[in-house]
Amino acid sequence: MFTRKITRTVVTTAAFFIIGSVYASQGEAEQFQQLAALDSSTQAIHSEISVPSGRSALTPGLDRNAFEQELSERFLGTHLLYQKLSDEARDAVFVLYQEDNRIDGIRRMVAYSL
């Protein structure tokens, strides 16, 4: 009787793990399908998104005050970080702007200067 109980327990446990792994496999397959669908919809959205015109660079030739004003009006997040910089770092960012007014370079300089 003791052997029969152990055998029944082993069989029940094995069945539980087999059913559980099949269920987990089905769950993983469903998750994979959901992720694939999400990925394809994300790619579709990403392909429709483009940089808005006028958002890739600041107006060239501005003085320091006008540069800071335009930065605050058009690129608020960058401006908020720019305000946290030391005076020397702000000077370096402004010099970079005078050489190259593209916002990606200015953002990079602000981030590295923090």
Q: What's the pLDDT tens digit per position in 78-111?
A: 999 999 999 999 999 999 999 999 999 999 999 9
Domain that includes residue 80, residue range: 64-113
Specify if 58 maps to a domain. Answer: no
38 and 14 together in one domain: yes
Residues 3 and 45 in one domain: yes
Separation of alpha carbons 78 and 92, rounded Å: 15
57 within a domain of the structure (yes/no) = no
Residue 89, in any domain of the structure? yes
pLDDT in tens, 5-34: 555 555 555 544 555 554 455 566 676 566
Do residues 107 and 82 share a domain? yes
Enter the tokens of residue 57.
Answer: 């660079």
- Here the tokens at position 61 are 């030739």
Helices 87-99 and 103-113, axial angle in degrees (round to 10): 160
77, 108: one domain: yes
Report CA torsion sign: 65, 68, 70, 72. negative
Domains in the chain: how many in total?
Answer: 2
